[in-house]
Amino acid sequence: MELPVIDLAPYLAIADAGNRGSESTKRVSGLTELCHEVSRLLKETGALLVKDPRCTAEDNDRFIDMMEKYFEKPAEFKRLQERPFLHYQVGVTPEGVEVPRSLVDEEMQEKLRAMPKEHQPLTPKGPDPKWRYMWRVGPRPSKTRFQELNSEPVIPEGFPEWKETMDSWGYKMISAIEAVAEMAAIGFGLPKDAFTSLMKQGPHLLAPTGSDLKRYGQEGTVFAGYHYDLNFLTIHGRSRFPGLNIWLRNGQKIEVKVPIGCLLIQTGKQIEWLTAGECTAGMHEVVVTKRTINAIKLASEQNRSLWRVSSTLFAHIASDAVLKPLGHFAESPLASKYPSICTGEFVEQELSVINLKGNKGES
């Protein structure tokens, strides 16, 4: 199965004009259908491919070029940006720290054993052998009960372009998430800003991963074990090496192919909470597949970097906002499974399950 690509340009044209009334009824009607398609895909697949004219392939390449250069640095250099006392919420997280939920969650392990063999994820042998860099994107709240989730960023020496590159790509991806969040809200029959109003001053994290394919490039290696993301929505630019598998709502496992110039969006646990399970947090893994091996061979022939960089951003609901089923979702028979909770408390509870707050969103 191939995920369809949603072009955000028509929606952005009307949103930017700020004057829906001046558009033809036919065009607005078509946009309503597009919004319904966005909400349907998030509900049924937990994933969405989008094309946003504000996020170009060149932007993605510029970001990945810089991150390849960083991850290729020696481990002792990278560890200078490590902040374990802040639960790795900023700076670098070395390989061997992030623990996939499937390794520690017994209930999840039972579900995995019950899956048909062809749809089962690969079993990780321990913590993920990938590095990650956490970069806070967007304004911080002036007052918050969750200061550690809103810490100052860390900039490595020797990268004068770091802040501008990280902020530029981060803001562009958040803009794409906000457009999708508005469209999903409309599609679900909620006010347009139902989700985006809760995202304001959220602890959004640009969190690229780096996986050393020269060292760990054997087929079957698990870089990110089977897990869901605890945040609202996760967005990725196209990686230069394939290997992301996702599970649809029906349990089917598919390897994602992101077209050039497109972005992948996945549902996290916070949107599951806000929709009382209408959307569920999408399960996924990153592994070395046959397609990864082919990409490694090509990159080697072309003398390119063998670090697999994912340009991942975790978009969050604001830490001090309340997570609860919104609008008509509060009347859902499943709403009682999603009691009201402060988002920051929810995040801390989720993190406590996986390596004592060592993870941020896992992806």
DSSP 235-258: EEPPPSS--EEEE-TTS-EEE--P
CA 177/CA 171 separation, integer angstroms? 10
Instruction: Return the number of other C-beta atoms located less than 10 Å from residue 85's C-beta.
Output: 7
Please give the average per-residue pLDDT across 247-276, as a whole number. 94
How far is Cα of residue 231 from the mean position of the Cα atoms in its chain?
Answer: 8
Q: 356 — alpha (psi -120 to 50), left (phi > 0) or beta?
A: left
Q: Which pLDDT tens digit goes with each residue over 104-150?
A: 778 888 888 899 999 999 988 888 899 999 999 988 888 888 876 55
pTM over 0.75: yes
Name which of 124-128, 306-310, 312-316, 325-329 the model is least confident about.
124-128
Place of tokens 């990725």: 236
CA 228/CA 231 separation, integer angstroms? 9
How far is Cα of residue 262 from the mean position of the Cα atoms in its chain?
Answer: 14
Question: Any alpha helices (H) in the chain, and if so which ranges?
Answer: 9-17, 25-44, 57-71, 75-78, 101-104, 106-114, 162-187, 196-199, 213-216, 269-274, 290-301, 343-353
Q: What angle do CA 143, 313, 145 make, to 5 degrees?
A: 15
Domain 5-354 of CATH type 2.60.40.10: no
What pLDDT does 362 receive?
46
Higher pLDDT pick, 149 / 32? 32
199 contacts 50 by C-beta, under 8 angstroms: no
Higher pLDDT pick, 173 / 348? 173
203 contacts 101 by C-beta, under 8 angstroms: no
Query: Exposure string (b/e) for 99-136, b if CB count within 10 Å is 16 or more?
Result: bbbbbebeebeeeeeeeeeeeebbebeebbbbbbbbbb
Nearest to 149 by CA among 363, 346, 355: 346
CA 38/CA 27 separation, integer angstroms? 17
> What pairing do the DSSP bridges indicate for beta strands 47-51 and 5-7?
parallel
* pLDDT of 266 strictly over 50: yes
What pLDDT does 88 receive?
85
* pLDDT of 209 strictly over 60: yes
Higher pLDDT pick, 357 / 79? 79
What pLDDT does 278 receive?
97
CA 361/CA 268 separation, integer angstroms? 9
Reduced to 3 states (helix: H, G, I; strand: E, B; else coil), residue 152 is coil
Q: What secondary structure letter does DSSP report for 81?
A: G
- Domain boundary assignment for the chain: 5-354
**Amino acid in position 151:** S
Q: Which pLDDT tens digit goes with each residue over 18-27?
A: 644 444 434 5
What pLDDT does 354 receive?
59
What pLDDT does 149 receive?
54
> In the predicted model, what is the mean pLDDT of the chain?
90
Q: Which pLDDT tens digit goes with each residue over 335-355?
A: 999 999 999 999 988 877 655
Q: How many residues does the chain have?
A: 363
What pLDDT does 339 receive?
97
CA 269/CA 229 separation, integer angstroms? 6
How far is Cα of residue 20 from the mean position of the Cα atoms in its chain?
Answer: 31
Query: Exposure string (b/e) for 14-41, b if CB count within 10 Å is 16 or more?
Result: ebeeeeeeebeeeeeeebeebbbebbeb
**Amino acid in position 312:** T
Q: Which pLDDT tens digit goes with each residue over 223-232?
A: 998 889 999 9
